[in-house]
Amino acid sequence: MSKALVRRRSGGGGSGIVPAVCSAIVPGVGQLVNGETDKAIGVFAVSVVAGAGIVLSLPLIGPIAGVIGLATWVYGVGDAYLQGKRRG
């Protein structure tokens, strides 16, 4: 992409809203937007495995997978926001 098309603010950090919203919709996409491919794959993989545990509704694993999935989602959104602000 041409540097003329990308407008950067001098000084303060950028907005982390776009990566956070992306990660809220699809876990890991916010990390991908921030350029953290390895972390994006990890967050997405954990979310898929936790989602599979919920969908399969195994008596013991279902609730645990739900907690892990929720924690991963919160981590993904928070991390995408903070890294987006930092990279700005």
So where are the chain's domains?
Answer: 27-87
Answer whether 0.85 is exceeded by the pTM: no
Per-residue model confidence as pLDDT tens digits over 17-76:
999 999 999 999 999 999 999 999 999 999 998 888 888 777 777 788 889 999 999 999
* Chain position carrying tokens 């930092």: 86
Tell me the C-alpha to C-alpha distance, in Å, between residue 11 and each of 5, 14, 28, 56, 69.
19, 9, 28, 49, 36
What pLDDT does residue 13 have? 53
